[in-house]
Every structure is written in structure tokens, then in C-alpha cells.
């Protein structure tokens, strides 16, 4: 393709087509529904057509997080596509610059936390002096909040 991908997603999760922001929710929901990720990157797959995207960081952003106690403790996260799901703490990572990420959509896609939902999770963390690490304790299981160079 000359000039690179026609569709771009910036670091704030805004979608663009040929430089113009896509604001129609119905189109954005269609894109989320047909989104894929492979070794080459993010793409839209509609029928036999596959169009790769230019993505600055991640397509999905975590916009909200809440600790819920419905039988078991879990963090319920709200994503920028309007969906909610349980946070898989086994996939929670803190990358360079203290930027938190996790995997969403059944582990298929990385998502970057916005500042507020990160604080909504981090306020429940404890510090272990001996191990020199912060961790979350949910349902009797310890989840270390480790820093990594790159989330994936």
C-alpha cells in the first residue's frame, strides 16, 4: 500500500480514516467487532478483505475499574468500546513510565489503562517490604504488580 494504512488509531484510542477522525459510533462498533491481531499487527477482517491498521499503542483502553464482591472479588473494567469484563490480573503489567496494561477480550488484545482506572486498581495494593514489591490480594491469591520493559 502506498502511503501506509488508511486507518489509524492514535494513543488516545481515536480512530482516523485518511487523516479524518471517525466519530460515528456504529462504524466504530463495526470495526471493534471485526478487529484482529497477528504478528504483523492489528487488522480489520470483513469477509475476505483484510486491512492492516496503524496503531500508536493499543486499540483498547481501560476507562474504568471497580472492585466488585459478588461471591468472589474481582475487578470489573470498562473498555473504550463500551464493553465490561473482569480484569485478568495474571495479565496485568506495568511497563516503562509506569504505564499499566492488561489483556482483554479473552486474552486476544492488549489494553492500556488510563490514569483513573489504574488508580482505582492501585488503591487496593499492598506493599511487601521483604519482597520489595507491591501486590494485590484477591480471593486469597497474591498478584504481584511487577514492572516490565515491554508489556508484550
Q: Where are the domains of the chain?
A: 7-55, 60-144
Specify the 3-state DSSP secondary structure of 10: coil
User: Distance (Å, rounded) from C-alpha 139 to C-alpha 115?
Assistant: 25
Could you say which architecture CATH assigns to the domain 7-55?
Roll (3.10)
**What was the pLDDT predicted at 65?**
99
Q: What is the pLDDT at residue 1?
A: 44
Question: Buried b vs exposed e over 37-58: b needs ≥16 C-beta within 10 Å?
Answer: beeeebbbeeeeeeebbebebb
Question: How many CB atoms lie under 10 A from the CB of residue 123?
Answer: 9
Distance between CA 67 and CA 53 in Å, rounded? 34
Q: What is the pLDDT of residue 3?
A: 62
DSSP string, 32-51: HHTEEEETTEEEEEETTEEE
The DSSP letter of residue 147 is B
Could you tell me the pTM of the whole model?
A: 0.93
Q: Which stretches of the chain are DSSP H helices? A: 25-33, 115-122
Q: How many CA atoms, within 13 angstroms, populate the side-chain half-sphere of residue 115?
A: 1
Dihedral angle over CA of 33, 114, 111, 124, nearest 10: -120
What's residue 70's pLDDT?
A: 86
pLDDT value at position 146? 87
Residue spans of the chain under pLDDT 50: 1-2
Bridge partners of 16?
8, 21
Amino acid at each position: 500500500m502506498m502511503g501506509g494504512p488508511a486507518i489509524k488509531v492514535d494513543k488516545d484510542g481515536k480512530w482516523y480514516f485518511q487523516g479524518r477522525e471517525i466519530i460515528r459510533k456504529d462504524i466504530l462498533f463495526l470495526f471493534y467487532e471485526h478487529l484482529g491481531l497477528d504478528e504483523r499487527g492489528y487488522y480489520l477482517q470483513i469477509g475476505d478483505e483484510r486491512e492492516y491498521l496503524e496503531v500508536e499503542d493499543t486499540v483498547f483502553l481501560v476507562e474504568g475499574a471497580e472492585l466488585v464482591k459478588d461471591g468472589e472479588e474481582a475487578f470489573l473494567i470498562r473498555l473504550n468500546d463500551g464493553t465490561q469484563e473482569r480484569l485478568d490480573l495474571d495479565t496485568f503489567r506495568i511497563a516503562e513510565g509506569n504505564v499499566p496494561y492488561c489483556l482483554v477480550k479473552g486474552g486476544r488484545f492488549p489494553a492500556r489503562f488510563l490514569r483513573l482506572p489504574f488508580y482505582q486498581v492501585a488503591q487496593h495494593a499492598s506493599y511487601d517490604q521483604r519482597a520489595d514489591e507491591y501486590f494485590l490480594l484477591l480471593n486469597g491469591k497474591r498478584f504481584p504488580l511487577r514492572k516490565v520493559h515491554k508489556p508484550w
